[in-house]
Structure 1
Amino acid sequence: MITELQTEFHGHPVVEFPIDTATATAPTMPDQGPVAWRISVPTYEPPFDWPEAFAKFRAAVDPASVQAIVVGGWSDPYDEGSAPVVAALAAAAGELPALRSLFLGDMTSEDCEISWIVQSDVTALLTAFPRLEHLGVRGGSQLELTPVRHENLRSLVIETGGLPADVVRAVAASDLPALTELELWLGTEEYGADSSVEDLAPILSGEKLPRLTRLALSNSDQQDAVAAAVATAPILPQLRALDLSKGVLLDAGGEALLAGQSLTHLESLDLHHNYLSDGMRERLRTALEPSGVRLNLDAEDADEDEYDGTIYRSVAVGE
């Protein structure tokens, strides 16, 4: 569940562009410098669609100065996909030469549950903006991506309750030589996740990600298998931050992390929302904290349910 809108995006404060009147004008730019403009329309009965709001935005500000855009809601995102939004952004690429950071789908659960957000093929956001450095996408339903080579992308974040295997494979097949941060919320089969650990192999090889230092493969109902694959992956020694949080991580996954390659070079290891035993948590602390690894083992929100003798465990972000 996503409960709050972003207030900061890659170092820029997020400023909402007002679209409630036909003569909307841009608010005064804050004193602290460039901002991330959030452009959004109500998801229910908007006064006009997102591309029209975007056109009003470009008429009200100097688009050549825009460095960051956060796309919020669009009309009926639970039914209508993001294709018109992607098309409008790509068509305006020539007007946005300074754009470096872009997020697609900054909605809370009140706007649209994450697994109900209907996305589209977002490849054009990379091909139309070759200087883009940061791309974030929320929602996996109907999400598509074609493998690309992008020389300048530094971070790619895809937040879903269920990430399609084709998208995982497209990310894995892409050439991203400048990428330093990759975050994939893999999700559950119930909400469209159909990838396997084998699909992650090209990522874990590190061959096309020479600069990657932060890797998050999280929110998975296969978190034990993911942890085991990461623990022996060629890319592990080059990482400084590893995030295997929000998933169904049991003692088998913790054991795999302890039995694999050394993790003591990491600056941080995020395992929050886990189903580890107290004994396993203590073993991880003993093995890693003396080396200065910042270890997050918070499990306060990881609840187990039992029905007819079967224990059910869930990822942190599903519906």
Structure 2
Amino acid sequence: MPHLLFTDHRDGDLDELHLRMEPSASGYPDVAGCAAELADLLAAAPSGPRVLTVGTTVRHTARYREVMDVLVAMRPPVERLYLGDYTYPDKWGEVIPEDLDKDGEGWVTEIEVPDEFWPAMRTLRHLVLHGDRLRLHAIRSPALTRLAIRCDTMSPRCVADLGGAGLPALDALEIWLGNYNYQWSGGIFGSYTGTAADLLPLLAADGYPALRHLRCCADIADELVEALAGSPLLRDLDTLDLSGGGLTDRGARFIAANQLAFSGLRRLDLDGNMIGTTGQRLLANTVEVAHLGTQREEFHSKLVKPQRALLFG
């Protein structure tokens, strides 16, 4: 089975299954072959797996629709599902994968989650989707507790999908907006630049009553904290993680001036942003829960290393 990377059994049952889309003769990922292999493996192990990963090491388009079709049709009892890219090659000069033999990065990774996915995956508790082109549609899952949506440049449509989600048990949400201040064109948006205003439906959503931990990596971090300050979502959070984003002294001044809005947090993680010396000193003296870590000079979504352990350790 050319796409099978490894399996792990527990008490004789398949516990973990990891496939990656190897290239076909054309050099593109063999999506159909990988999906067919996944179907065969699931058919041979109806009681598992508990953990399923499907990734790619091919630097060309990888589409996951056929993998999604297999999951919807076969309804495996998966509790933790990881689809897409998990480690970056070092072409950007900043990120070194921990294990090149396990995952890689596709050039364009398209993952569309059909409405039929959610009722088919009733046992799902943790979900990671990582790609360049994501579409979530109507997100409805009464059991999902942790969700990570990771994009280098998230589309406003994907943000809108998150704003309309119904996830009553979700405890932790991770969103990579990446280079969100991007000139989108075509489709229903016409010519459009993503802004923090797109996040308002998410920040005001009532579909996340159990959410206590929010991580958001974005270039528009200054605008994001301004939007968060008036959000009902913020009042219930224990942890707000804005690490690896584009927060500057402007955002630092806003947080310090509106520290009451952030006073319910147990931790505010601002590591890896672009806050200057003045802003760092201001936050250190006024916001006790702020963790500043190490700041940097330039934002790039590739600088943040995607680790499954961030949410799922």
TM-score normalized with structure 1 length: 0.75
Write the deviation string for residues 260-310 of structure 1: whole angstroms up to 9, x where unpaired: 234343222221221111121122222233xxx3614322xx334xxxxxx
Residue 140 (structure 1) aligned to one of 132, 135, 155? 132
Shift in Å, 1:115: 6.1
Residue 37 (structure 1) aligned to one of 17, 30, 49? 17
Secondary structure in structure 1 of the residue aligned to 2:265: coil
Tell me the equivalent position of 1:247: 245
Tell me the equivalent position of 1:258: 256
Distance change (3 Å), C-alpha of 1:211 and 1:115? farther
Contact 1:248 1:315 in 2 (8 A): no
The farther-off stretch of 255-264 and 45-54 is 45-54
Structure 2 stretches of 5 or more lacking a match? 90-102, 185-191, 305-313
Residue 184 (structure 1) aligned to one of 169, 172, 175? 175
Tell me the equivalent position of 2:96: none
Contact 1:114 1:160 in 2 (8 A): no
Secondary structure in structure 2 of the residue aligned to 1:146: coil
Distance change (3 Å), C-alpha of 1:276 and 1:58? same
Residue 79 (structure 1) aligned to one of 53, 56, 61? 61
Contact 1:77 1:118 in 2 (8 A): no
Contact 1:242 1:269 in 2 (8 A): yes
The farther-off stretch of 191-200 and 178-187 is 191-200
Tell me the equivalent position of 2:308: none
Tell me the equivalent position of 1:209: 208
Tell me the equivalent position of 2:223: 225
Alignment of 1:54-203 (within 5 A): 54-60=38-44, 62-73=45-56, 78-93=60-75, 96=76, 98-110=77-89, 113=105, 116-141=108-133, 143-188=134-179, 189-190=181-182, 194-203=193-202
How many residue pairs align between the two structures?
A: 278
Amino acid at match of 2:264: H
Runs of 4+ residues over 6 Å off in structure 1:
none
- C-alpha distance in 1, partners of 2:23/2:86? 9
- C-alpha distance in 1, partners of 2:267/2:14? 30
Write the deviation string for residues 67-94 of structure 1: whole angstroms up to 9, x where unpaired: 12111228x673241111111121111x
Amino acid at match of 2:111: Q
Residue 295 (structure 1) aligned to one of 291, 294, 299? 291
- C-alpha distance in 2, partners of 1:77/1:131? 32
Shift in Å, 1:202: 2.4
- C-alpha distance in 2, partners of 1:88/1:130? 15
Tell me the equivalent position of 1:15: none
Secondary structure in structure 1 of the residue aligned to 2:63: coil
Distance change (3 Å), C-alpha of 1:303 and 1:42? farther
Distance change (3 Å), C-alpha of 1:114 and 1:245? farther
Secondary structure in structure 2 of the residue aligned to 1:269: strand
- C-alpha distance in 2, partners of 1:86/1:241? 32
Tell me the equivalent position of 1:274: 273
Identity %: 26
Secondary structure in structure 2 of the residue aligned to 1:119: strand
Contact 1:273 1:316 in 2 (8 A): no
- C-alpha distance in 2, partners of 1:173/1:200? 11
Amino acid at match of 1:109: Y
Secondary structure in structure 1 of the residue aligned to 2:232: coil
Distance change (3 Å), C-alpha of 1:187 and 1:106? closer
Contact 1:73 1:105 in 2 (8 A): yes
Question: 1:314 and 2:294 equivalent?
Answer: no
